Structure 1
């Protein structure tokens, strides 16, 4: 799979951007390539100071995300940097993203946390950083973008269908008040709307698979995940990390530890769901589902069982909403039947891929399955 011809024509190749970017820094192309390296523990003070220019105070995050407590790293994330003496010029982060497709597992990576000095950014540093990282994995994903990176993602990556935001209102009165509905009207309309949503979910939600038990688990193991990964839909490209990486990503994050639910049939895992409680900037409490997976057989019924347990947990903690973001051709209709509302499309939910492997074509909606696990969600919202 290659980039569209229009994007190829607009973006110079890596050799050209290396020469141009090196010239802007006063380096030779060879010295630029040699200076680009993974960050080490001794770089941490300079990285913290560099990121503080954007108002970030996140030393604990950097230590966790990029393994900067150890020269060996953590095996899952790396921060690459350009540094001239005491000054950091540019950084880009990478997290491994194993891609399961048609029984094979391909090495993938997610790029994030790009930051450059203004002069380096103006000299094409953003393009060069991405192109330099393309060499380190067979598949590179771009999941989400801000106002500064939208153009870059569109130039360098083949487009996948955008992810969709889904929300299940649990305290409809609170959501109406947040949107400016007068308090008295919201207090009357909220319970009525909430009852209607619960009735709809009960009538239209998937049934069956009564032999499935859903229960909390403390951590993942590869033995637990093995039957689940073996039963994933073969025609979808799914991000499916090993147990140690999932435990690191979901349980060890200093900003956002998640809780885990597993769906078991005859003591074999056929699905899981990860979620956490949070309070948004308006003071509204919600439950965020960052990731889920199910085997292909009876997928709707398994996910429905997991979601009902998540709804019960969210209600118990008085959350106003349950929400998630996903690219998944099967999940959308089922979430609608469960009472979830689909949010408005947003250009910031774009998704792109860069690879020459025989993966699903970008023009085929639903050939990929990507959740917020592959978004740079470090717990800052």
Structure 2
């Protein structure tokens, strides 16, 4: 379903939700506003107890994501409400610098919303989101579950939905999943796989062969800033600094990423980040592409080359598929040309709340949003 459907009744004004949520807590509106604050290291034991109620045991994640034991952590904060004995509600943010038309705006992405069960249905989710929207010039909503989908549609101006893209690498698995008898799938699989490999070889053109693909062990400001400077001016995208991207990809306790760069004539013209998702339980190994950025010149050839390199790495690791999501029509065309199958889902909703002159609201303009702006690291 497209997120640009008419939205239901709007969320009441912040003053109204403040009064209603304070009443549910048995507090005054002033106490609610004064109690809402960033978490500190002293809150960590209570936060871990609060999150374990949903089966989460993630002290390392909280320290990394929100810098709870780090002075001056610049990439995000976890905000909370707590009384003397326990945490009542949390909401997290990650800094999301938004680059558009030569400007860099201070954006944020919201995540890790959790309420004490007794407070669910009391307007706390709306209040937490509204309170956080006061903290940045632009707030992104990327993805939703059944509990938050309606709130995202009501509170945020709709962007086009992201689209899920998947490239099967093992035809036998795909055929079995679609009901083909096991013996027939095993017989046909190698022939289909050979055809897929031939398609990938034929996809390469002269523009791609002129590119040098290398794996980076860190994010250097020099090449990242060169890519950012060469982004299409009409594009709105999340463009973290080198330090931010390095933290996100290489210091993550839940997921280990690999970073591939593409250079033409010795100059970096793009990058792509991906992680190996190991087999676990009934899940087969896969490669998850989380992010890419491309200089404006011959961007399609650059993305094709980076994706083909990631696909080759996925094959070496025995992955059953390569997958990603994208909010970028030009990238969708490249993915389709390489054989990725696409589908949409309600959970891939996207929205923005901002007074800034950014494109994309109501489906006008061009955005690039990748899984870098989604808190699914190591979760699937």
* Band the TM-score falls in, shorter-chain normalisation: over 0.9
**Residues 1:280 and 1:296: Cα distance change in structure 2 (over 3 Å):** farther
Displacement of 1:151: 1.1
- For 1:226 and 1:309, how far apart are their aligned partners in 2? 23
- 1:321 pairs with 2:317: no
- For 2:72 and 2:59, how far apart are their aligned partners in 1? 15
- 1:229 pairs with 2:216: no
Alignment of 1:332-371 (within 5 A): 332-342=332-342, 344-364=343-363, 367-371=366-370
TM-score (normalizing by structure 1): 0.94
- For 1:365 and 1:287, how far apart are their aligned partners in 2? 32
1:49-103, Cα deviation, whole Å (9 max, x unpaired) = 0011111111111111111112x35210210000010111100010000000001
Structure 1 counterpart SS, 2:57:
coil
Does the aligned pair in 2 maintain the 1:329–1:365 contact within 8 Å?
Answer: no
**Residues 1:61 and 1:12: Cα distance change in structure 2 (over 3 Å):** same
Displacement of 1:288: 0.8
Alignment of 1:102-251 (within 5 A): 102-204=101-203, 207-251=206-250
Alignment of 1:47-126 (within 5 A): 47-70=47-70, 72-126=71-125
Displacement of 1:266: 2.9
1:254 corresponds in structure 2 to 253
- For 2:286 and 2:365, how far apart are their aligned partners in 1? 27
Displacement of 1:366: 6.0
- Structure 2: state its 5+ residue gaps: none
TM-score (normalizing by structure 2): 0.94
Structure 2 counterpart SS, 1:363:
helix
Displacement of 1:122: 2.0
Alignment of 1:28-47 (within 5 A): 28-47=28-47
Displacement of 1:205: 5.1
- For 2:147 and 2:250, how far apart are their aligned partners in 1? 30
- For 2:149 and 2:40, how far apart are their aligned partners in 1? 29
| Aligned pairs, number | 376
1:331 corresponds in structure 2 to 331
Deviates more, 1:350-359 or 1:188-197: 188-197
Displacement of 1:356: 0.9
- For 1:267 and 1:154, how far apart are their aligned partners in 2? 45
2:264 corresponds in structure 1 to 265
Does the aligned pair in 2 maintain the 1:161–1:366 contact within 8 Å?
Answer: no
Does the aligned pair in 1 maintain the 2:360–2:367 contact within 8 Å?
Answer: no
Displacement of 1:168: 1.3
- 1:308 pairs with 2:319: no
Displacement of 1:10: 2.6
Does the aligned pair in 1 maintain the 2:227–2:294 contact within 8 Å?
Answer: yes
Does the aligned pair in 1 maintain the 2:269–2:295 contact within 8 Å?
Answer: yes
Structure 2 counterpart SS, 1:199:
helix
1:10 corresponds in structure 2 to 10
Does the aligned pair in 1 maintain the 2:291–2:370 contact within 8 Å?
Answer: yes
2:375 corresponds in structure 1 to 376
**Residues 1:25 and 1:106: Cα distance change in structure 2 (over 3 Å):** same
- For 2:54 and 2:249, how far apart are their aligned partners in 1? 26
**Residues 1:69 and 1:373: Cα distance change in structure 2 (over 3 Å):** same
Does the aligned pair in 2 maintain the 1:274–1:290 contact within 8 Å?
Answer: yes
Does the aligned pair in 2 maintain the 1:270–1:294 contact within 8 Å?
Answer: yes
1:330-374, Cα deviation, whole Å (9 max, x unpaired) = 1111111111111x3210011111111111042236611000000
Displacement of 1:281: 4.8
